[in-house]
Amino acid sequence: MTTAPLAVASAALPGLDPGRVCALAAEHGLDGVEWGVGVGQALPLTVSDAQLAAVATAAASHGLACAGVAVHEPEALAYPAALWHRICDLAVVLGAPHVRVYATGRDTDFDSGFAGLRELLADKARATAERGLRLLLEPAPATLVPDPALARRALSGVDSDSVGVVYDPGSLAREGWQDPFLATGVLGVLLRHVHVKNVAPRRNEDGSWVWQRTGLDTGIVDWSRVSDALDAAGYAGWFVLDHLSSHEPGSLAVDLVHLRKLAEVSHA
C-alpha cells in the first residue's frame, strides 16, 4: 500500500513563523508545506529575498517539499504584472509546482464579471507558465466560482497543462456541493490538488445558521466517499490539511491520524 504525499498549509497554523511551521511539519512526519502569501500569512507580499531564502533553507533542512503557494488576497488576480511576477519568482525559489488563487467576488453582473474573470485567469496563467508553474483556481463560497463546473468553465480555452483546480470538499459543502464522483468527473485533468478539512452547520440562538470546523470523521463531508472518488479518478497528488479541526493543543496530531487513513485508502 502506498500513501499520498501529505502536507499542512501554513494558513492552518496562524501566528507561527516559517521556521516553526517547518519544524512542526517535520515533527509530525509530513512531506511538505503549502505556503500562504498575503496579509497575516507566513509569507507577506513584502518578504525579502533573504527571508525567502531562509524559508527555503529551513524547509530543505527538514526534508520538506513545497506543496504549493497559495495567495490569500482576494484581489490577487487583479495584481499588476510586476507584483504577480514577484509572486511567481517567490514560488520558484520555494520549489512550488503552482500558485493558487480564488476567483473574484460577486460585485458585478455575472456575465460581465465572469468574462472579466476568464481574461484575468488567462493572463495570469501565461505568466505562471513562463516560469514553469501552473495556475490553480480554488472554488470557494462568495466568489464567482463556488463549484467545480464553474471552475472548469472559467478555465476553458486556457491550455490545460498550465492550469488546474483545487478540490476542497470542505468548502464546497458550504456552497457549490457536488457528489465527489461527479465533481472529480467534471474536473477531469484539471483535478490537480486536494485540500482536506471538514465542517458542519450550527444554528445560532437567533435562528441563523453558521458553519463550524469539525474533525475529519465527524463533519458533513463523507471523506470515505471522497477518497473512493479520488481513487477512481486516478488522483496521485497532494493531500493538504488546510484548516485544523480546532484550536486545541494536539489538534494537528489528531487530524493527521484521520488524514493518513484517507491517503492510504485513496492509494491502496
Kindly state the average pLDDT of the residues 98-112: 93
Q: Classify residue 156 as exposed, middle or buried by CB count within 10 Å of its CB (0-12, 13-18, 19+).
A: exposed
The answer to whether position 177 is within a domain reads yes
Calculate the alpha carbon distances from 231 to 148, 167, 210, 222, 228 in Å: 18, 14, 31, 15, 5
Provide mean pLDDT across the span 48-75. 96
CATH number at residue 164: 3.20.20.150
C-beta contacts of 14-19 below 8 A and 24+ residues apart? 14/40, 16/42, 17/42, 18/42, 18/43, 18/54, 18/55, 18/58, 19/54, 19/55, 19/58
The tally of domains found in the chain comes to: 1
**Does 123 fall in a domain?**
yes
Residue 201 in domain? yes
Over the chain, what is the mean pLDDT?
94
pLDDT in tens, 121-159: 999 999 999 999 999 999 999 999 999 999 999 999 999
Structural domain that includes position 140: 6-266
Does position 212 have pLDDT exceeding 80, yes or no? Answer: yes
Residue with the bigger pLDDT between 205 and 118: it is 118
Which of 140, 85, 98 has the alpha carbon at shortest distance from 117?
140
pTM comes to 0.95
Residue at 137 is within a domain: yes
pLDDT higher than threshold 90 for residue 20: yes
- E strands, 122-249, are 134-138, 163-167, 191-196, 198-203, 209-214, 239-241
Residue 1 falls inside a structural domain: no
